[in-house]
């Protein structure tokens, strides 16, 4: 059991082809953990075939049905409908269509693709992290991340310092990458997540690093804690560590989302 009041809004389903556990199973686990709410946020479909780690457009109805089935199975648990959307500027027309296709509670903005078409977190590109100056990868990533925040499409953004996943980081003070992102969050009112999946990757730390959280807290940027679960056992994982970091940095509030409305609530203990 977790302390009362936690939510987990970053949860995947088998429709993305690299996760296991259907929403009904996650809902059961959420009740066991004592989560106050959960939300599904599978990788968004594209308008046409794109890569092998997301649902197809024709599968969207199944996604909605699977979330409805979880709501029916756990009527006491608020279950939100979200989407983890890859920020790719050329797909806006499709996003319009997608946006109007369901009563979304929130959209999460993510940068997995760099402008050169490589995926910053995909194991098939791990050698690129070894062979390229991390400075170049981080610069490209954070520039895209700022654009993602400023695009106006998203309620919060995912795993801020994702390029550290395999343990490669530029030298020196990394706050130079964080500051423009935090300014963009401040300007737009977009929130960010503490994503506990980093604890399970080679970098062995939360996304984002403490320095990001300190700067964001000082700027008054809203935050929420998510697991990015791709399996039922990962739901709520690492939440004690995450809330400890937030409290250490001075946070006393988190946010929830309902139909795109941001609701401030006290941070759980």
Rule CB under 5 A: which residues touch Fe ion? 84, 110, 228
Nearest to 248 by CA among 214, 204, 203: 214
Count of residues in contact with Zn ion, rule CB under 5 A:
2
Taking residues 156 to 185 in sequence order and writing x for each that binds Zn ion by CB under 5 A, - otherwise, the string is: --x---------------------------
Q: Tell the residue number behind the tokens 């300007």, with chain if given.
A: 187
d(CA 145, CA 245): 23
Q: Is residue 228 close enough to count as binding Zn ion by CB under 5 A?
A: yes
With the CA atoms of 195, 51, 20 and 7 taken in that order, what torsion angle do they form, in degrees rounded to the nearest 10? 30
CB of 80 to Fe ion, least distance (A): 15
d(CA 138, CA 114): 10
CB of 195 to Fe ion, least distance (A): 8
Are 229 and 187 in contact by the 8 Å Cβ rule? The answer is: no
Nearer to Fe ion, 89 or 250 (CB): 89
Query: Which residue is closest to Zn ion by CB?
Result: 228
Nearer to Fe ion, 13 or 110 (CB): 110
* CA distances to 47, 48, 261 from 56, in Å: 8, 8, 28
> Which range binds Zn ion by CB under 5 A, 22-30, 72-80, 221-229, 258-266?
221-229
> Which range binds Zn ion by CB under 5 A, 74-82, 94-102, 145-153, 154-162?
154-162
Nearer to Zn ion, 13 or 254 (CB): 13
> Which range binds Zn ion by CB under 5 A, 72-80, 149-157, 176-184, 227-235?
227-235
Structure tokens that stand for 110 in this block: 């993510």
Residue 22: other Cβ atoms inside 10 A: 17
CB of 245 to Fe ion, least distance (A): 20
Are 224 and 72 in contact by the 8 Å Cβ rule? The answer is: no
Nearer to Fe ion, 35 or 173 (CB): 35
Residues that bind Zn ion (CB under 5 A): 158, 228
């Amino acid at each position: 059991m977790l302390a009362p009041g936690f939510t987990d809004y970053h949860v995947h389903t088998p429709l993305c082809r690299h996760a296991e556990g259907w929403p009904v199973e996650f809902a059961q686990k959420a009740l066991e953990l004592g989560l106050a709410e959960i939300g599904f946020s599978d990788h968004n479909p594209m308008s046409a075939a794109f890569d092998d780690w997301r649902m197809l457009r024709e599968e969207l109805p199944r996604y909605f049905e699977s979330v409805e089935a979880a709501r029916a199975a756990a009527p006491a648990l608020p279950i939100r409908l979200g989407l983890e959307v890859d920020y790719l500027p050329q797909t806006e027309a499709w996003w319009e269509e997608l946006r109007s296709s369901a009563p979304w509670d929130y959209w999460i903005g993510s940068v997995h693709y760099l402008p050169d078409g490589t995926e910053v977190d995909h194991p098939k590109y791990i050698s690129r992290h070894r062979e390229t100056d991390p400075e170049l990868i981080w610069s490209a990533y954070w520039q895209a991340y700022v654009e993602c925040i400023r695009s106006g499409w998203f309620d919060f953004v995912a795993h801020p310092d994702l390029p550290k996943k395999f343990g490669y980081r530029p030298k020196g003070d990394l706050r130079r990458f964080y500051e423009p992102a935090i300014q963009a969050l401040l300007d737009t009112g977009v929130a960010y997540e503490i994503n506990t999946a980093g604890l399970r990757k080679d970098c062995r730390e939360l996304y984002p690093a403490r320095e990001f959280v300190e700067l964001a807290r000082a700027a008054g940027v809203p935050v929420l804690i998510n697991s990015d679960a791709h399996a039922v056992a990962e739901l709520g994982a690492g939440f004690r560590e995450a809330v400890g970091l937030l409290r250490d940095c001075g946070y006393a509030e988190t946010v929830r989302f309902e139909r795109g409305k941001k609701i401030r609530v006290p941070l759980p203990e």
